[in-house]
Amino acid sequence: MSITPGIRLAFLAFALSLLATGILILAVSIFWLNHPDTVRDAVVTMDLVFAGIVFGVFTSLSTLPGLLGNLSPVRCKRSLIIYVILVVVVIAIDLSLATVVWFRSLQLRSAFAQLWAGIDRPTRISFQGYAFPADNPALTPMCSPSSTLQGKLHLRSPIFQPSLVVSRLITPSSDLSNKIMYCRGKQGCINPITAIASIQLINIYTTLYAFSAIGVLCILSGIVLIYARNDEERFLRIEEKQRGDRALNLQYV
């Protein structure tokens, strides 16, 4: 097998696709870093964002040995081998990040109490309108911040504190007005927030898993190019040896 233009073109196309993938991951991570989103930041934490930045840079740089090797495959065998090894590392990191995000998507509800406890009071209050913009002010069982409920019900009670509220409405006790509803249980923001966060996480890990397919194609094209390069090098050596033999024979003629 010799190095045909088709082999080099396919290798170049997949290498450039991997480069574009790295640049895209880097750009999205930087965008998320500079444009906070309340729900997204609750589940896509800064450690994942910074990991995305590092991964994007590493992925982009990993394509350089391959692009260099494609310029002269016969002379740059080491660059091609390094490229294939780096792409294997890229795939391993990509699958690891995707699995971490996937695992977080499975733990959204079980980890919600801890997540909610770490959110500051203004952010909790903002979720009231964020989850259901049409309900403003709202008495529906969702995120009930104390400011909203106390302002609506004219109630000053420690019951109505920003919390996980509410899964159900319980009949108020006889010493309170019939217009006042108790908010107990722990449902509240969990449904709207986890629904939004789940969609975002699904999109992230699905995209990362899809990116790994590009890496696999890069490895296959790299192996094919290395194999073709080895064959061509062997042919060149045979041809060089034959020329040497002919030159030696001419000396004895």
Q: pLDDT of the chain along its 253 residues, tens only?
A: 677 889 899 999 999 999 999 999 999 999 999 987 767 777 788 888 999 999 999 999 999 999 999 988 888 889 999 999 999 999 999 999 999 889 888 887 776 666 666 666 666 655 654 444 444 444 333 454 433 333 333 334 444 333 333 333 333 444 333 333 333 333 445 666 777 778 888 999 999 999 999 999 999 999 999 988 888 777 767 766 666 556 556 565 5
CA distance 79 to 75: 9
- Cα R_g (the chain), whole angstroms: 30
For the chain, give every domain's residue range.
5-112+192-251, 121-189
Among 190, 159, 141, residue whose Cα is nearest residue 150? 159
Confidence (pLDDT) at 55: 95
| Half-sphere exposure of residue 74: CA atoms within 13 angstroms, side-chain side | 10
Confidence (pLDDT) at 132: 43
At residue 132's C-alpha, the angle toward residues 127 and 134, to 5°, is 130
Kindly write down the DSSP assignment for every residue of the chain, as one continuous string: ----HHHHHHHHHHHHHHHHHHHHHHHHHHHHHHS--HHHHHHS-HHHHHHHHHHHHHHHHHHHHHHHHHHSTTT-HHHHHHHHHHHHHHHHHHHHHHHHHHHHHHTTTTTHHHHHHTS-HHHHHHHHHHH-TTSSS--SSS---HHHHHHHHT---TTS-SSS--SEEEPPPTTS-TT--EEESS-TTHHHHHHHHHHHHHHHHHHHHHHHHHHHHHHHHHHHHHHHHHHHHHHHHHHHHHHHHHHHHHHT-
Confidence (pLDDT) at 37: 75
Confidence (pLDDT) at 58: 96
Confidence (pLDDT) at 12: 94
Confidence (pLDDT) at 126: 59
Confidence (pLDDT) at 109: 72
